[in-house]
Every structure is written in structure tokens, then in C-alpha cells.
A = this chain, B = another copy of it.
Amino acid sequence: MLGFVTPAMVIGVAEAGGLGSFSLVASSPEEARATFAEIRRGTSRPVNVNFFCHQPPEMNAAGVAAWMSRLEPYYAELGLDCPEPRPMPPIPAFGDIQCGLVEELKPEVVSFHFGLPAPDLLDRVRRTGAKVMSSATTVEEAMWLEESGCDAVIAQGVEAGGHRGMFLHTDIDTQVGTMALVPQVVDAVKVPVIAAGGISDPRGVAAAFALGASGVQAGSAYLLCDEANTSSLYRTALQRVCDHQTAITRIFTGRPARAIANRLVRELGPMENDAPCFPLAAGLVSPLRAASEALGASEFSPLWCGQAASLAREGPAAKLTAWLASGCPSNRGAATNA
């Protein structure tokens, strides 16, 4: 939920008994410190900081040019000059700088997406006392995460909005639904399993616990809460989306992620091969998005969205969290926004 979580949302979730989560993937050290301080001022409860563990991409001029040629008609339609093929500023993977921030800020929980960092970095994180978790999209990934030292595994079913955490597998055709994934992961690992994907109301929370999960992660549900940094265009799209109107697509960033199947997704095809590696694809889509949004349209915007987003209730994050937690058996376990 990079970009959409605010300190107020994290505080609201944490104070309601959930694990408030936020990403420092795209933050400078100064920004990270300021964000963290603001959250610590608002709550003394545990919080979760999230980082990405992708392989930084190699710049490939021919690949970027191929992508540009696919996008040229849209640039023309919007009256934009085609930019020189260039990468966008890279999204940093978890490295020494980020690890230093964890050592300095000492969040209670550190979560990763796209696998885990190198063992020496992971050791440094663990020595801060932080609990470590990461997302698995298959049983094999869950077992790998447990063996690598995760304290909990997030079983991310195919319904989930945003980026697939997949790191051992690359084939989206064989990605697994939450109903099937969670019990198989629960059977395969000893650490607690957090269910994610298609959970946006107390029924989903109750179902996840019935499957053997020890907690749930809700993402899309929080995009409509009062504190979310969600544009009005995005909010409108989320309020209107139907169950069968999202798709897993790599056109917005280069990695598979579930978003509303808007015009760009439909016309290019969700898994268009020409999109360069994560996160380079985003560099050339961003100008289209900006020009289109200025005209009041979201047909070129990455509208990250899970398949059950419309089940969530609007309102303050704390109220949403308490509502979700009402699905926990005997009020056990906790909801988390991430």
C-alpha cells in the first residue's frame, strides 16, 4: 500500500488493536525518521515497517524502447511528446541504508515483499529484536521463508490487490486462491500464518481463522478509509468496482500486481511481455497517468485493488479495524493494514 498509508492510518489501526503497517520503500532517511516519529507520537503500540526485496533491474535500452513503442499511440492521443527512453528513479531494494534505519528506529515488526534480504542484512534486522515476516504465494515459498528465519508467513492468495509477493515462482497462471492456499500453508509450516487476499469484511476474517490462519492482512479495505491517501479518482473507481473487474497485470511496474482492469490493462493485455522489469515499466506509464488524471480520467492509472475491495466499509481506520476484528473468533488475533 506504498503511497496510500498515512501516519494517521497507522495510528488508527494500532490504537484499535491491529498491527499498523506502512512502507518505507520510497522514503529518504529523513522522511522515514519524520514518518516514524509522527507515528510514535500517536501510538505506543507495535507497528510494522515494510520493505521490498526485489533484484534491482539492469537498464536495458532496447527493452525500454520496445515498451515506448507500445505506448506511443497513447502519448499521441494525449498530445504528449514521447520522452527519451529512460528509466524511472529506481525503487531501492532493502540494503544497508534501509537496514540502518531499522536499527535506528526499531520497529517491532519488519515485513518484506518479494522474498527476503541477504542473510547478513536479515541477521542485522533480527538483532534489533524485530519480528520478521514476508509474503508467500505458494506452499514452497512459505516453507522457504520459514527455513530462512521468518517469525510469521503471510499467505497471499490470488485475490489480493497490489503486487504479488511471488519470488520463487514467476507463473501467474498457477497462483493460488486464498481458500486453497491458507490451509495448505498452515499444514506446511510451524510459524503463524497471516491470511491475505479477498478479506475486506468480518466474514472474510472469520473464514481465514476457520482455515487455520492466526491473523489476517487487509489492504484494499483500507484504501477507502478516511485517513487513506487515496485520490478522489481512485476512490470513485474503488467504490464502483465489481468483483470481476480486476486483473493481475505487469504493465504498470513490470511485476505482476492486481489492479482494476482499466483501459490500459485491457488494451495492452494484462501480462504484456514488452513491459520492462520492475520497476522500470512505471517510468514510461507515469506521464500518461499524469496527463490523463489531469483530465479527470483514471484509465492509465494503476488502481491497485483486490477482488473483495467493495465489501469494505468507509470511515475511520480505527472503526474499520474494530469491525474487521469482530470477525475474529472470541476476538482473538488481529487485523493489519498492509
Q: Interface of A with B (CB < 8 Å)?
A: 137-140, 157-159, 169, 171, 173-181, 183-184, 187, 197-199, 201, 203-204, 206-212, 242-248, 261, 270, 306-308, 310-311, 327
Contact = CB atoms under 8 A, between A and B. Distances in A.
A330 B137 CA distance: 32
A44 B261 CA distance: 49
B247 A173 contact: yes
Contacts of A169: 244
B307 A176 contact: yes
Max chain B C-beta neighbours (<10 A), residue from A137, A169, A184, A208: A184
Contact of A159 (B180, B211, B248): B180
B139 A244 contact: yes
A147 to B, nearest CB: 17
A184 B245 CA distance: 13
Contacts of A199: 179
Nearest to A141: B244
Max chain B C-beta neighbours (<10 A), residue from A178, A212, A327: A178
A138 B243 CA distance: 7
| Copies of this chain per assembly | 2
A184 B311 CA distance: 7
Contacts of A248: 173
Contacts of A176: 159, 243-244, 307
Contacts of A210: 203, 206-207, 209-210, 327
A201 B178 contact: no
A181 B206 CA distance: 15
A198 B173 contact: no
A96 B308 CA distance: 40
Contacts of A209: 210
A24 B299 CA distance: 46
A193 B277 CA distance: 42
B245 A174 contact: yes
A173 B270 contact: yes
A157 B307 CA distance: 11
Contact of A201 (B137, B183, B208): B183
Given A207-B207, A207-B208, A242 B140 contact: yes
Max chain B C-beta neighbours (<10 A), residue from A199, A308, A327: A308
A183 B211 contact: no
A173 B179 CA distance: 18
